[in-house]
Amino acid sequence: MNCIQARDRFAELLDQRLDGPVSGEVRLHLAACPDCQRDFVSLRDTLAQLDALPAAKPGPRLRANFYAMLEDEQRSAAAPARASAPSRRHTPRWRWILSPLAACGLLALSFVAGQRSAPVATPVTVPVDAATQHELADLRKKVDSMGQLVGYSLLQRQPANERLKGILATQDLAAPGDRVLTQLISALALDPSTNVRLSALEALYPYADQEVVRAGVLASLTREQSPLVQVSMIDFLVAARDREAAPTLQQLVRADKVDRSVRDAAKRALVQL
Amino acid sequence: MATAALQTDHELMLAVRDGELAALGELFERHHGPLYGYLAKHTGDRLAAEDIVQTVFQRMLKYRHTYRDDGAFTAWMYHLARRCAADYFRKHHAAPVATDPTDLQAYADARPHAGDQAGASDDRAFLHSALNRLDRDDREILLLSRFQELSFAEIAGILECSVGAAKVRAHRALRELRDIYFQLQGEKLT
């Protein structure tokens, strides 16, 4: 066996896929040829280094996105079946004509009844001083935030996929107002579904420069129970370069009860911040 | 889905093809880690690798009707992954991605005694750089043959070439990697 033939077999020898007799011939050549020895050793070392490279692990976002996608596909696969089911039933023709007529009649009847029974509205003007106006503004603010809370709790009564849809719809808005951001933060803090919370966090990324958003994520971090979401929140705070997060992250690093992956993420975040 | 764990990949994919979409969850759990590892090393970009894995599983659903009765699931999955990766490289001008410094930092941080193991850490950084400088096809076959526990027959199926050609390409790629790796080490010493 010459050098060229031996070197052609090195890869298989390194892989231990070479047959017994051929392997013996290559080894025999190697023992007598210093050039081939150097070549073989360098290849073996490179391969050893390559095999020792640590395996990269995906972030929690991948699993969350995959299951959201799968859920969507399952829903849309089920939808045509549901939609086609009623169409098989034969609907009598007279229904197509009578139904709109009946609806119009009902509408007209309600209008007339409303006109007769409703009291005539008369505008009342009451002079108010500055203090009262201030109190009124305060009250309106309270009622407004209470309304949001009630609104969100009503939203929570919808199925998870509907809530997810709502979150995803906010990503299409060119300039979402404070109300939308508040609802996203509420979803992040209060929603029982991990997928919805993760999606809310994802939807908040474009607004990470707003202090209220960063504060909302930071406040939710300490209440969050799922390590998956906690790690994502930490990634968010790092991406937002939020130095205010440092004390909370330090607390997480020190807390023994907190999941190890969360503590590690907090540790990394502190270095990055 | 207790029985899913006992089913082969092929059986699960046939179930997906026949409309039992939930079976894809088990396939995802089995394969997303190694697939991500392959794509992260191939693209040199962890976020892009996550996106590509997601696209691969999306395409599995979209093209599930094309999965054949006699199909090999792993080969099919890597076939899809190659196409998705090719799309990614096309969009990103096909340039090899430079080693991400934050990745190197992560490898260094992962070591308990950084002082003792600084040399080994450097070696890994050089090897990462060498991998990124390899021709894309060479990098691909090296990653498939070393990290994905695939036989050369399976690799040949994925790359649509003969088993002999796959072996020759893997060998040539290893030599190329070795040359770049030692060149980088030499540059450090001079």
Residues of B near A (Cβ–Cβ under 8 Å) read: 19, 21-22, 24-25, 28, 32-34, 36-37, 40-41, 46, 49-50, 53-54, 57-58, 61, 107, 109-110, 123-124, 127-128, 131, 142, 146-147, 167, 170-171, 174-175, 177-178, 181-182
The 8 Å CB, 24+ separation contacts for A199-205 are A199/A64, A199/A68, A199/A164, A199/A167, A199/A168, A200/A167, A201/A229, A201/A232, A201/A233, A201/A236, A202/A61, A203/A167, A203/A168, A203/A170, A203/A171, A204/A236, A205/A236, A205/A239
Q: Judge contact between A56 and B41, C-beta under 8 A.
A: yes
For A210, the token pair is 């707003």
Indicate yes or no: CB of B147 within 8 angstroms of CB of A59.
no
Listed by start position, the domains of chain A span 3-52, 140-272
Question: A40 with A30: CB under 8 angstroms?
Answer: yes
Residue B120 and residue B77 share a domain: no
CATH number at residue B159: 1.10.10.10
- Residues B89, B119, single domain; the answer is no
pLDDT higher than threshold 50 for residue B103? no
* DSSP structure class, residue A258: S
pLDDT score of A97: 61
* pLDDT tens, residue by residue, B57-78: 999 999 999 898 877 899 899 9
Per-residue pLDDT, averaged over A152-172, amounts to 64
ipTM attached to this prediction? 0.79
Q: Do residues B114 and B190 share a domain?
A: yes
Of B47, B73, B94, which one is at a domain's C-terminal end?
B94
List chain A residues with CB under 8 Å of B181: 46, 49
Q: Mind listing the pLDDT tens digit for each residue in A177-195? A: 777 788 888 888 888 777 8
Cβ-contact B91, A17 below 8 angstroms: no
B140-182 residue pLDDT tens: 998 998 877 788 888 998 888 998 898 889 889 999 999 999 8
Other Cβ atoms within 10 Å of A93 Cβ, number: 8
Q: Flag whether pLDDT at B121 surpasses 80.
A: no
Total domain count, chain B: 2
Residues of B with Cβ-Cβ distance to A264 under 8 angstroms: none
pLDDT tens per residue across span A206-250? 888 888 888 888 888 888 888 888 888 998 898 888 888 988 898
Cβ-nearest to B127 among A50, A57, A74: A50
Å between B177 CA and nearest CA of chain A: 8
Locate A103 and state its tokens.
């609806």
Contact flag A74-B178 (C-beta cutoff 8 Å): no
Q: Tell me the residue range of the domain where B156 lies.
A: 97-190
Q: Locate B13 and state its tokens.
A: 């994919």
Judge if B182 and B112 occupy the same domain: yes
Q: Which of B94, B127, B146 marks a domain boundary?
A: B94
Q: Which of B74, B94, B114 is the last residue of a domain?
A: B94
Asked if B57 and A49 come within 8 Å (Cβ–Cβ), the reply is no
Contact check, Cβ <8 Å, A11/B58: no
CB A188 within 8 A of CB A197: yes
Write b or e for each residue in A186-218: b if 16 or more Cβ atoms lie within 10 A of its Cβ, otherwise e.
Answer: bbbbbbebbbbbbbbbbbbeebeeeeebbebbb
Q: Specify whether B117 is located in the same domain as B88.
A: no
